[in-house]
A and B are shown apart, each in its own frame.
Chain A
Amino acid sequence: MLLRAESISVNFGGVQAVSEVSAHCAAGELLGVIGPNGSGKTTFLNALTGVVDAQGKLTVDGEPVRLGQPARSYRSGLMRVFQAPQMFPSFTVLENVLVSSRDRTAAGFAGSWVIRPIMWRHERQRWRTALAALERVGLSEFADEPATSMSYGNQRLVEMARALVAAPKVLMLDEPSAGLNDAETDGLADLISALRTDGLGILLVDHKIDFIDRLCDRIMVLEMGAKIAEGPPAQVWSDPRVMDAYLGTVDDA
């Protein structure tokens, strides 16, 4: 199993935002995570990314990952695309992608001052990798544009490219279709399918049910921070608890 999260819990000062949620995802598998607003989906991703303190056990590719430390999650191959696109405003599109380059050889002070030939060799390789990632999401012609000049949908694709240069094993997408039109959503679905064919495990949080249904092998439903159902889409949608908890309140945005 590529990703195995066991009994993940997150507390915010007494509020149990995520309680004892377990999830697993194989290579090439797409796990949908759904639930009403405030059900803990993003917090669950935050816990796996290490940006909030969490309890529980997390392994990626059999290796245990310490929770609460973004560097550990990054190193283990967990990458995340944020709900609201997070661009670095000083940077061009290419620089935004370069930030998370997997190859960090000679990227520090020694590379700047002492071993510059090695730094240059790897830096140029990083440019090529970043450009290839931009090519893959269809934005390579905008590499030199300021990232904040891109449309909302394209900023999200820049984030996808930024996730890809980290050579992730598991990709976590937080409402990637939000704010996209139908054509953009179709393009995104094709990209996600292609990534999964490459063997990535993908966690997909989304509100668009047809988007989730179209892509996911399994769905996990959260409510009030707890998992209330899990299984193939058809089975999950027929679960009475899911109908009560989720469909009753869904706003088909």
Chain B
Amino acid sequence: MTVPVDVRQDASDGGSRRTVGSLFAGRSAGGPPVYREHKFATWVALFAFIALVVPNLFTGMADQLSLSVWLCYSIAGVGFYWVFGLAGRFAFCQTFMMALGGYTSAWITLKLGPGWFVIGVLGAMAVTGLIAAAVGLILSRAQEFYFAIGTLAVAQVGAVILTHTTSFSGADGSTVAIAPPEIFGFIFESYLQMFWLSLVVLAVVVFVAILLERSPVRRQAIAGRENAMVARTGGVPVVRVQVMLFAFGSMLGGLSGALLGAINSTVDINSFGTSLAIGIFLMLFIGGVGSVWGPIVGAAFYVAIPQVLSGLAQYENIVYGALLLVVIIVFPEGLVGALRTVSARIRHRRPPLEPGVTLVERLTSLLPTGIRKEHDAPPG
């Protein structure tokens, strides 16, 4: 049958010289705006900054431990960005995946020896990825709000199970005396060494995430999130994309948990409870739900601010809460989102198109479809 669009048709005789010209100009010129952003340059700049400046600013042991925790939370946060930021699936089980990853990795290195750390981490990612894929498939028809409840149930039931599987997760869900990370015979013993290890892992994770940003997957994920019905009629495999992003995002949760376990030398189910689950959510919104940088900035805020405020003693929680509110009200699109808007204004460009990046917009989009505006064309 006919293909109605003649792809050889030369479009340059229309009023579209600018677009067509730039389309054929360079490797990534033209096309959707995401391909024109300098994401790899930002990646180099960010990690060069962290590597060169941050370890010199924080020399105390406790600070260096916090830095590693920040980087590990960032890894889990990037995973949650895939699940919620891109796919729009509010999964409440990212911290459970972190705990499961921590136990799995610890269990493997306990059984095989500390030299098997890499295998332990890969095992943690495999286990969390497979479980998430299964959960994602089972819940694939659950709409936004129900998916959140379903994954919350998975996290709660999973936590109860993990407190009873003594031979796997230790007595009362607490595995202690985990060996420090060891790769090809090199043992990461000091907190500074663990910082470098976490930094390299995060850099790789973010690089992988940028590859995903600069690919059709991002487009399909956002299309499925914004209007699943229209995306489906356009041939977008909405369920597959969402389940895969959930599985890959959960794998990053597992990776994060495995690293955290080795850094803290302990995994305790209680440190992966609701508080951290809300924390991961906050990291994404404080940083900005619309970009891969958001969770990294948000995790820094989440880890640093309580320490900065710790001098306030009993007022700490009040000030922290107030600060959160201010950030969310003043920067509804997150710190990174605000930065992007400002830099676009300075360069007299249009700010990036990101409806649905504010907390309120995202939370209302989780409501069951009957409550919010109906997208579908009315029958008639």
Contact = CB atoms under 8 A, between A and B. Distances in A.
B222 A91 contact: yes
B232 A200 contact: no
Interface in B243-279: 244, 248
Interface string A75-90: 1010110111010111
A74 B20 contact: no
Given A140-B19, A141-B16, A99 B236 contact: yes
Contacts of A120: 27
Contacts of A164: 4-5
Given A90-B226, A127-B30, A131-B16, A112 B215 contact: yes
A166 B234 contact: yes
Contact of B234 (A27, A100, A124, A144): A100
Given A116-B211, A141-B15, A51 B219 contact: no
A123 B222 CA distance: 17
A109 B230 CA distance: 21
A91 B352 CA distance: 10
Of residues B3, B31, B211, which shows the largest number of chain A Cβ atoms within 10 Å of its Cβ?
B31
A74 B229 CA distance: 12
Contacts of A95: 32, 219
B1 interface: yes
Contacts of A90: 222, 226, 353-356
Nearest to B235: A74
Interface residues of A, number: 81
Contact of B379 (A43, A50, A144): A43
A75 B231 CA distance: 13
Interface of A: 2, 17, 27, 37-43, 46, 49-51, 61, 70-71, 73-75, 77, 79-80, 82-84, 86, 88-92, 94-95, 98-102, 104, 107-109, 111-113, 116, 119-120, 123-129, 131-136, 138, 140-141, 143-144, 146, 148, 162, 164-169, 174, 195, 198-200
Given A42-B379, A166-B235, 10 more contacts: A17-B379, A42-B377, A51-B232, A70-B229, A74-B235, A86-B227, A94-B31, A107-B217, A109-B248, A127-B23
